[in-house]
């Protein structure tokens, strides 16, 4: 009888994780552009589904449960989005900041890195907006006598009113945690390992109120559609008017949130996480 190699069940150690992260980065950068785009559409939709879940769970909790507990619950359920991306297989812009580990070692060219980021960012945006439109058509925002839509509006209004540099800082903090979640999944031997590695960092960034560019591709456009096209009966139900949400504009979405948060996400994930782990485990040490 031929001897068999023992099945490895223990988690990978950080040095092995770094080697795996580098190889994953190389594969992502070399992937066919059509495949990359389609998988990025899925990631935009997956993160949006997490955002729908979080919005629904947060609804009705204001004044009933403490702020921190509400944020904790929202973050916990929002982690569904990254679970779907990692386990289901999809291309997420914020997670792909980890390609920096392959780029820093010159295993991926700058052009390939930027091409991946641009294609994935656009795909995430299209997937997110498509989900926004579908959810809006479903009128899910009217559930709970309009309470879900009211939560969506308050979320979009707050995110659209951020200061530019505040948004960058919140984006840095967010994607440091997101990429730490991705980093931890490189240690995993099973699907269960991956899911358990994802939940705490993702819950933490949502609970803390940090800013994720792809999630905001759902949160803010959803608020914009509700503000612009919700029926008069919806506004009567929530006892408010569109003028109560003055921050929600497409201009504010782009320049107060999406641009600075994206910059922050690149810094936080690409340089505070990926580049640091590359420096520790993959750079050529001087003798």
Domain count, the chain: 1
pLDDT at 1: 46
The encoded tokens of residue 152 equal: 């969506």
Does the reported pTM lie above 0.75?
Answer: yes
| Residues in the chain, pLDDT under 70 | 1-9, 285-287
174 in a domain, yes or no? yes
**Within a domain: residue 141?**
yes
Quick check: is 4 in a domain?
Answer: no
The token pair that represents 87 in the structure block: 């386990």
User: How high is the pLDDT of residue 61?
Assistant: 74
pLDDT given at position 10: 74
Residue 117 domain-assigned (yes or no) = yes
Q: Which residues contact 272 (CB under 8 A, 6 or more apart)?
A: 172, 176
Whole-angstrom distance, CA of residue 75 vs CA of residue 73:
5
DSSP 231: -
Domain of residue 25, residue span:
14-281
Question: Dihedral sign, CA of 99, 91, 57, 188?
Answer: negative
| Residue 22: CATH number of its domain | 1.20.1080.10
Phi, then psi, of 249 in degrees rounded to 5:
-140, 160
Residue 189 lies in a domain: yes
Contact between 218 and 47 (Cβ < 8 Å): yes
Alpha-carbon distance of 106 to 226, in angstroms, equals: 46
**5 located within any domain:** no
Do residues 75 and 202 lie in contact, with contact meaning Cβ atoms separated by under 8 Å? yes
| Spatial separation of the C-alpha atoms in residues 152 and 248, rounded to whole Å | 11
Q: CA 234 to CA 222: how far, in whole Å? A: 15
| Domain membership flag for residue 265 | yes
Q: Is 38 inside any structural domain?
A: yes
């Amino acid at each position: 009888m031929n001897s068999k190699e023992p099945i490895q069940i223990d988690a990978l150690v950080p040095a092995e994780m770094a080697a795996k992260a580098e190889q994953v980065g190389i594969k992502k950068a070399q992937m066919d552009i059509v495949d990359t785009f389609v998988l990025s559409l899925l990631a935009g939709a997956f993160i949006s589904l997490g955002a729908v879940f979080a919005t629904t769970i947060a609804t009705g909790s204001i004044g009933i449960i403490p702020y921190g507990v509400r944020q904790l619950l929202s973050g916990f359920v929002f982690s569904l989005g990254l679970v779907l991306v990692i386990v289901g297989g999809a291309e997420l812009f914020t997670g792909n900041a980890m390609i920096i580990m392959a780029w820093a070692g010159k295993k991926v060219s700058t052009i390939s890195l930027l091409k991946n980021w641009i294609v994935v960012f656009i795909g995430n945006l299209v997937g997110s907006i498509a989900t926004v439109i579908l959810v809006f058509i479903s009128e899910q925002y009217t559930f709970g006598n309009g309470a879900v839509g009211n939560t969506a509006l308050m979320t979009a209004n707050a995110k659209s009113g951020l200061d530019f540099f505040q948004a960058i800082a919140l984006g840095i903090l967010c994607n440091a945690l997101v990429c730490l979640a991705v980093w931890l999944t490189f240690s995993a031997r099973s699907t269960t390992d991956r899911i358990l590695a994802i939940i705490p960092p993702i819950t933490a960034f949502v609970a803390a109120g940090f800013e994720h560019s792809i999630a905001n591709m759902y949160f803010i456009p959803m608020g914009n559609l509700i503000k612009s096209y919700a029926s008069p009966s919806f506004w009567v139900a929530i006892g408010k008017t569109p003028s109560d949400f003055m921050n929600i504009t497409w201009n504010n979405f782009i320049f107060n949130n999406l641009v600075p948060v994206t910059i922050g996400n690149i810094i936080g994930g690409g340089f505070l996480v990926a580049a640091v782990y590359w420096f520790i485990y993959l750079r050529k040490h001087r003798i």
